[in-house]
Amino acid sequence: MARSFRNNMSAASALLTTLSAFLFAVLVSNTSALSTQAPFSASKTNTASMKSKSPMFEHLKFDSNPQFDVLANTKTYVVSQSADETFNEDYYAVDYVLRGPVIGPINRDDLAKSQKGLGIKAAFPDIKLDTFGYSIDPENPYRCFYFQRWRGTNSADLDSYGTIYPATGIEMETPVSVFSVVWNPEGKIVYEQVGAVVDRLEGNTEGKAAVFGMLHTAGLKLNASPGDKVFGFIQRIGHVVGGMGRSWSREDEIPKWWTDKSRGADANDVL
């Protein structure tokens, strides 16, 4: 019986040794195979080849091969915006369009006039834009996203097209919002998207970001949100009357590549 037990133990030991050797061989084999395989991403669909459902955004991909550093250019642009009292118009393409949740499409000339008449920067002399999270769109190498949180104190009166709103003295913090710019192959900004709120519960502007957060802090508490028919109606009256800046440009002054039919606070155009 003792001999039988020893024989069984020897057989079991031999089996374990064989299994260990086999597993080791498999492990080494797999490691070698992994080291010679193509990178995982190579077997996946290239996101840069994905076609946008919106012809407008497909157009903005151009040749998908920028000959300059889009991320670095975007960082330089954002820094210049934060530092300068005036905007460097050399950054913008002749067919530039800006769109926000309830503003636009607006061309560069109309936007510059609106910014001058609003007097928003003077009302917040300590305004600071905290920018982070720069990222290139994996489906469009000409497009760069980034996040911003705006802080500042309404310590000076707001002169909005001649109407004076006394300083509230309130220290503003907007919710984080997403911005993006699209550059054309010539290195000019052709499209700018602004102020898409990430979390409306953050900050003290009731979910309003960017300029709308500043206006809210200065006492202009506008109920502006995409699809709001009342606000959209007010915008259309202002668009017809004119004289106090535009929420979007005249139809014949919107660049031809912009094909979306929604204006201002309109609900999204249905493709």
Q: Is 125 in a helix, a strand, or coil?
A: coil
Answering whether pTM is above 0.85, one says no
Q: Do residues 194 and 210 touch, judged by C-beta distance below 8 A?
A: yes
Domain ranges, ordered by start, for the chain = 52-253
* Measured distance CA(73)–CA(78) in Å, rounded: 9
pLDDT confidence of residue 88: 87
pLDDT lower than 50: segments of the chain: 1-45
Give every CB contact of residue 189 below 8 A, 6+ residues apart in sequence. Answer: 77, 91, 92, 93, 96, 181, 182, 183
The predicted structure's pLDDT at residue 220: 87
Task: Return the bridge partners of 183, or none.
Answer: 189
pLDDT on residue 271: 61
CATH of domain 52-253: 3.10.450.50
pLDDT of residue 265: 86
Q: What pLDDT score does 270 carry?
A: 67
Question: What is the DSSP-derived secondary structure letter of residue 189?
Answer: E
Per-residue pLDDT, 42: 35
What is the Cα–Cα distance from 137 to 47, expressed in whole angstroms? 9
State the pLDDT at residue 12.
37
Q: Which residue shows structure tokens 């957060």?
A: 213
The Cα–Cα gap between 212 and 219 comes to: 11
Check residue 221 and give its pLDDT: 85
Element (H, E) at 190: strand 189-197
